[in-house]
Amino acid sequence: MALHEVPTLHGGCGDCPIRHRAVCARCDTDELAQLENIKYYRSYQAGQTVIWSGDKMDFVASVVTGIATLTQTMEDGRRQMVGLLLPSDFVGRPGRQTVAYDVTATTDLLMCCFRRKPFEEMMIATPHVGQRLLEMTLDELDAAREWMLLLGRKTAREKIASLLAIIARRDASLKLRDASKGPIVFDLPLTREEMADYLGLTLETVSRQVSALRRDGVIALEGKRHVIVSDLGRLLEEAGDDSDGGFLV
């Protein structure tokens, strides 16, 4: 299925909904103008592959809207979801031509893309871009270490609560809301099967624990995916985290 290019979907970078969290967050007006000259938009439908592991990637990008998964396939064909790309996350690695993972759109996905070579040159000439990318890389490293703890030591209930907390906190951050004040409402981007794959659980366990969190009043559900978190602190307690810690803020 061919991708869709959307060159005029947004106005300038200053109007972008992920501007305050993306790789361009520290850029001044002149630097944003340089990024404008090398950027373009790509959209993907839910289920569409953005790029396959091992393929050459001639662009880097920020997720503007939607969710994508990072998946690795073993030699015997077994597949494991190893990461999620949420709005404002960065895709691709400057200085590396190929991709280590399959990237697949879980929902309809919009990405703000930059041609890789000009972006690499801009990183050298523009410290603000390189500094912000370093910050994001270190945050990603911290999140990966926390995820190792989750997979290795947390209970099934804590795993489910942790994943919900990650998405809830990101949603609040993108909307510039204080996550500790008022309910957080979001649509869960993963099916129960995908959650099971990502968390190393069975489908039955995921369904049982989600139902338990709803029964205990930790979350409310409208349908299967519309989630309401009325008290983030309680969800974080269920996840084994506190309001100052967790995975992503």
Q: Is 167 helix (H, G, I), strand (E, B) or coil?
A: helix
**Cα(206)–Cα(154) distance, integer angstroms:** 14
Asked if residues 131 and 139 have their Cβ atoms less than 8 Å apart, the reply is: no
pLDDT at 249 over 70: no
Give the mean pLDDT of the chain: 84
pLDDT at 242 over 70: no
CB 225 within 8 A of CB 164: no
pLDDT in tens, 206-240: 999 999 999 999 999 998 889 999 999 999 999 98
User: pLDDT at position 203, please?
Assistant: 95
Three-state SS for 23-92 is: CCCCCCHHHHHHHHHHEEEEEECCCCEEECCCCECCEEEEEEECCEEEEEECCCCCEEEEEEECCCCEEC
pTM of the predicted model, to two decimals?
0.79
pLDDT in the model for residue 248: 37
Domains parsed from the chain with CATH numbers: 19-128 (2.60.120.10), 154-239 (1.10.10.10)
Q: What is the mean pLDDT of residues 93-98?
A: 84
The DSSP code for 249 is -
